[in-house]
Amino acid sequence: MRLLADHCSSSLSLALWWSLLLVVLGSSGSPALGCYTRIFSFGDSLTDTGNYIHLTARSPSPYGAPPYGRTFFGRPSGRASDGRLVIDFIAQEFGLTNVTAIQVGTAPGDFQHGANFAIISATANNGSFFAGNGMDITPFCLDTQMIWFRDHLRQLAQQQNSSSSSNDVLSGALVALGEIGGNDYNFAFSRGVPRDKVRAFVPAVVDKLAGAIEELIGMGARAFVVPGNLPFGCAPLYLQRFRAAGAWWDYDPTTGCLAWFNRFAEYHNQLLTARLDKLRRLHPDVTIVYADWYGATMRIFQAPGKLGFTNALLSCCGNKTVPCGRPGCPVCDDPSTYGSWDGTHPTEAVYKVIADGVLHGPYASPVPLAKTCPPT
């Protein structure tokens, strides 16, 4: 764990190496009919499909225990939910059914359709950032995931160099960058950092995401989907933790959510979308789709009954006494009616609403994600 955290504070200069690698991988051509050949995914617990529980196997986490995974997989799969995540639905849409967690795959064949570098608890910023803000946090971070990604690309380059294949790895791939950054704020709020100080973190988070996009473009990536923050003022954990300190004006009367925290998420999303607009102007040959996870999810909280969410502000699994994944935790009968699986993470039903809105509209810009890749 410490070794991975140290990677978060590393600054690697690899310009020459990347120049040589791009010669090997090639930087021309496009996938057949515009369809993606791979998905490379980065993020946190909203996207992790097994990295965290693999790396923490010696001290098992609740995410690797029942009833996690019960809705779709019938067993814990490493996902912090009852079933599939947004990334699973996106992969399914494009016929890429095996986007394997990078720490779980053991052979080249495991990564034919891409790789997932996301990990539970990940932050956008590294440990040095948090130390500079008075917090002793050594997280899995975006820097760590980029190190894994570079190593993975190096392996792909070695495989390709020793065969007759001319497959273009990066220009044919879809890069799903996030959601990541929410934990930068969650860790601070949970430690009692004043709201205004946490709000000042937002530009640094957006800078980190933009920097990763620029680096990936330099490597040859030509298509991105970048999610914004969820309305975490509607998460049961936030409603429980901050209810006592709140007053009536802290609540949105139309949803019952904590209004200030949702405005915070909106602020993050505004800065992120503005930066993505700038990146599109700088790189007109690159597709960058903003995934409006906030708007898609707020649709549930604003009119839950219309979508079948009769328990939109409640969690299906666990309670204050026994968290989800621990022996004896209570579990609801029908997770599809709940907005939250475990108090922090959405249910598969919510993820499907988000994925549908991103893939087919209207919760994506400048175009729905599915329209960037015509069906074969």
**Is 357 contained in some domain?**
no
H/E/C letters for each residue in 130-149?
A: HHHCCCCCCCCEHHHHHHHH
Closest by Cα among 27, 54, 51 to 41:
51
Our count of domains for the chain comes to 1
Q: What is the DSSP string of 32-77?
A: GGG--SEEEEE-STTT-SSHHHHHTTTS--GGGSTTTTTTTTSS--
* 3-class SS of residue 173: strand
**Is 306 contained in some domain?**
no
* pTM score of the predicted model: 0.90
Q: How far is CA 278 from the centre of its chain?
A: 22
Closest by Cα among 308, 301, 314, 306 to 254:
301
**Is 36 contained in some domain?**
yes
3-state percent breakdown (helix, strand, coil) of the chain, nearest 5? 45, 10, 45
**Is 272 contained in some domain?**
yes
Is 345 catalytic? The answer is: yes
At 248 the pLDDT is 61
- Termini Cα distance of the chain: 43
Say which amino acid occupies 2: R
**Is 202 contained in some domain?**
yes
Angle between helices 202-219 and 259-282 (to 10 degrees): 30
Is 41 catalytic? The answer is: no
Give me the residues of the chain with pLDDT under 50, please: 1-7, 9-34, 163-167, 375-376
Which residue, chain included where needed, has tokens 């814990």? 76
Q: How far from 358 is each of 149, 292, 329, CA to CA, in Å? A: 25, 7, 33
At 375 the pLDDT is 47
In degrees, rounded to 5, the angle at the alpha carbon of residue 347 between the alpha carbons of residues 341 and 351 is: 150
For residue 278, report the phi and psi dihedrals to the nearest 5 degrees: -65, -40
Contact call for residues 93 and 374 (beta carbons, < 8 A): no
DSSP summary character for residue 258: B
Helix (H) or strand (E) holding 87: helix 86-93
**Is 332 contained in some domain?**
no
| pLDDT tens sequence across 142-200 | 999 999 999 999 888 777 665 433 346 888 999 999 999 999 999 999 999 999 999 99
Closest by Cα among 185, 203, 295, 299 to 242:
185
Show the domain range for 196.
2-9+26-232+265-298
Is 165 catalytic? The answer is: no
Closest by Cα among 43, 42, 71, 46 to 344:
46
Contact call for residues 44 and 121 (beta carbons, < 8 A): yes
What CA–CA distance (Å, rounded) separates 122 from 119? Answer: 6
Say which amino acid occupies 229: N
- What tokens appear for 160 in the block? 């390709």
Contact call for residues 165 and 29 (beta carbons, < 8 A): no
Annotated active-site residue in 45, 61, 121, 340: 45
**Is 125 contained in some domain?**
yes
Contact call for residues 361 and 351 (beta carbons, < 8 A): no
CATH code (residue 42): 3.40.50
At 167 the pLDDT is 41
Contact call for residues 338 and 351 (beta carbons, < 8 A): no
Q: How far is CA 148 from the centre of its chain?
A: 16
Closest by Cα among 88, 80, 157 to 120:
80
What CA–CA distance (Å, rounded) separates 297 from 302? Answer: 9
At 109 the pLDDT is 81
**Is 50 contained in some domain?**
yes
Say which amino acid occupies 192: G
Q: What is the DSSP string of 189-217?
A: HHTT--HHHHHTTHHHHHHHHHHHHHHHH
- What tokens appear for 189 in the block? 């709020």
At 12 the pLDDT is 38
Annotated active-site residue in 88, 252, 292, 342: 342
H/E/C letters for each residue in 174-195?
A: EEEECCCCHHHHHHHHHCCCCH
